[in-house]
Amino acid sequence: MHTMNIGILAHVDAGKTSLAERILFDTHVINELGKVDQGNTQTDAMELERKRGITIKASVVSFVAHGLKINLIDTPGHADFIAEVERSLSVLDGVILVVSAVEGVQAQTKILFSVLNKMGLPTILFVNKIDLTGAQFDATIMRIRDKLTPNAISLCRVEHAGTKMASVAEHRFDWNTDPAFLEQCIELVAEYDEQLLESYVNGEGISEGQVKEKFGKQVRQANVYPVYFGSAVTGEGVSHLLAGVTEWFPVNEHAEKEPLSGVVFKLEKDPSGEKAAYVRLFSGSMNMREQVKLQRKNKQDAYETRICKIKKLHALINGKSVPAAKVTSGDLGKVWGLENVQIGDVVGERSDLIKRFSFTVPQMETRIEPVEPGKAHLLYQALIGMSEEDPLIQVVKDDFHQDLYIRIFGEVQKEVIEAALQEDYELDVRFSETRTICLEKPAGTGQAVEIIMEANNPFFATVGLKVEPGLPGSGIDYRLEVELGSLPLAFHKAIEETVCTTLKQGLYGWEVTDIVVSLTQTGYFSPTSAAGDFRKLVPLVLMEALAQAGTHVYEPIHAFELTVPAAILSKAVFKLSAVQAVVHETAMHNDTFYITGTIPVAATEVFKRSLHTFTRGEGVMLVEPAGFIRINGDLPTRERTDYNPLNRKEYLLHVLRAY
């Protein structure tokens, strides 16, 4: 049986989890419909998801429709979990984007559609809730074309929209019964098909079959977007949607004879604590108890390879994960035995079919601590366990103050982590105020040296270092201005590693980047000197050189696209300037102004909250990371988490164990 992997995306409360439930019910995977408000849905497996009524983690379930096995990935819709969405998209053949017929196109809908558009993923739009009061047909189509894409076309008609009697009738590729619909299809497709355009302009006969074939081709190439209407609650229109999924999305042909190539896109722990990996296979097959290659890209962009043995293998069949001897290309498998596996790891050989995983870096952090002080170690273990399963959670431990920090995308994620810790680990926690993560970059050049047995250098080592600004995006560029043989390799390694560790905290406590560090002088006594002498001396020398150079502090910014009614353009620009946003361009389209520019990450959430009020719900803001910008004026600082090599006396008292 051929396979297809699809996802469901939507803004919060558009009804995507309800749609997933309806699809599973209609395809006989479940015998009873779950409801989000009752907390008994199939795809929201986490208790927290059931309580909150939102999807937090991508879930996977399979069903059969029209003779095709379909793996459905129900993904989060909230902005705080957009990274989870991006990872899921990387393994999909097509996406159903759900829009509410009542609320219409929301800000998150535009964000999701822009991601789909950039990735070139075939997309079908499903307009849900046609049976609710306020649901609209023609107006919703117009908004989709205006706010998302002009290449959207409705494949059905809706009667009695906004009432319990709402019903859907599908358009037909038939010149006799639906000529206007075929004309509309031809006009859309002809833009991408010169042959069809020529035939159309010359008045040549075009058959229904030709129109349908060429329409499907453009849908699969993500140039044209079919729109279906219906209600996930009543089931109206869902059968048309399912038929459209099997008709328009690409189907995976079996490529078992090709080399094994797949990617890990989801991790979870079973009740025993063993880690299971969800793998999307693009070619070849995985077999029980066989040895497979696992590849991962390191920080130097080189692939590291190791061999693992598949201990247990499950296939996804009719809503269940069942033991299997083999999983073939195009399908998803659940695998045990891949040691130290991470999301994004390649199973088997690398392939052009594997889309590059995008891991968005969180730009905010907050301190987290247990309500009961004696449970700090348990909290750390719990957070590490959660981060292994979900790369969205990044844990930073301050060994100096014994504090724990987590890096996050937003306040909702904080709530989710708090609830998950209480639910899964019986840990009550509290957070400090969230802060934005800044960076430091050298402002000039500085140089320092400590000579062995001279002045007040208590270490059996000589180290000289020079720092200067590096190229944008270069990170830490470590160079040697001494002969490699001037020191044993172990000492060279100790110096380089300590340089990188020390630069985690600059003059203001932020990580230092885009810096060139050159080793200018070395010396040691044999056999008295040890690597530890260099590890303890380097922070003093490096921070003295950095203090000479000085640093600038940079804060993260978002690039934004703001859509507001023309009548409140001036108010929007004033509000943006009040939060230090920079407007790059404004343009008008259909009584709506589009404003682009940059805004500090620290101000983004505040502005978004005010946007709904001063635009009366008509403003939409899209943001994406756009690097960092230098801060002028009062510079934010971060508490140091080391022995403070900027203060020589304090540092030496600690490292020489005088305390």
Domains, the chain, ordered by start: 3-248 (3.40.50.300), 261-348 (2.40.30.10), 364-435 (3.30.70.870), 440-552 (3.30.230.10), 556-630 (3.30.70.240)
Task: Kindly report the number of other CB atoms within 10 A of residue 454's CB atom.
Answer: 9
Interatomic CA distance for residues 496 and 95, integer angstroms:
46
* CB neighbour list of residue 353: distance below 8 Å, 6 or more residues apart: 261, 282, 283
pLDDT at position 359, please? 57
Burial group, residue 389, by CB count within 10 angstroms (0-12, 13-18, 19+): middle
Written as six digits, the tokens of 430 are 């509290």
Q: pLDDT at position 56, please? A: 37
Give the pLDDT confidence score for residue 448 in this predicted structure: 97
Residue 300 has a pLDDT of 64
Based on its alpha-carbon atoms, the radius of gyration of the chain, rounded to whole angstroms, reads 29
In the numeric block, which tokens belong to residue 429? 């926690």
For the chain, how many residues are written? Answer: 659
Between CA 250 and CA 253 the distance in angstroms is 9
Contact yes or no for 83/360 (Cβ under 8 A)? yes
Nearest by Cα to 596 from 630, 632, 564, 559: 559
Residues 472-488: pLDDT tens digits? 989 999 999 999 999 99
Residue 591's region, left for phi above 0, alpha for psi from -120 to 50, else beta, is left
Q: Which residues of the chain have pLDDT under 50?
A: 44-57, 77, 659
Contacts for 647-651 with beta carbons within 8 Å, 24 or more apart? 648/540, 651/539, 651/540
Give dist(CA 618, CA 622) in Å, integer. Answer: 13
Q: What's the confidence (pLDDT) of residue 93? A: 93
Residue appearing with tokens 């010396």 = 523
Look at residue 170 in the predicted model and tell me its pLDDT.
93
Give the SS3 label for residue 501: helix
CA–CA gap between residue 138 and residue 161 (Å, rounded): 10
By the 8 A CB rule, do 599 and 558 touch? yes
Is the Cβ–Cβ distance between 222 and 122 less than 8 Å? yes
Q: Which pLDDT does position 115 carry in this prediction?
A: 81
Q: CA end-to-end span of the chain, whole Å?
A: 71
52 within 8 A of 224, measured Cβ to Cβ: no
Q: How far apart are CA 201 and CA 219, in angstroms?
A: 22
Q: CA-to-CA distance for 5 and 266, rounded, in angstroms? A: 14
Cβ pair 204, 196 in contact under 8 A: no
| Distances in whole angstroms, Cα of residue 91 to Cα of each of 334, 579, 609 | 14, 38, 33
Two tokens, residue 256: 């078992």
Q: Helices (DSSP H) in 331-375: which residue ranges?
A: none
**Type and span of the H or E element at 440:** strand 439-442
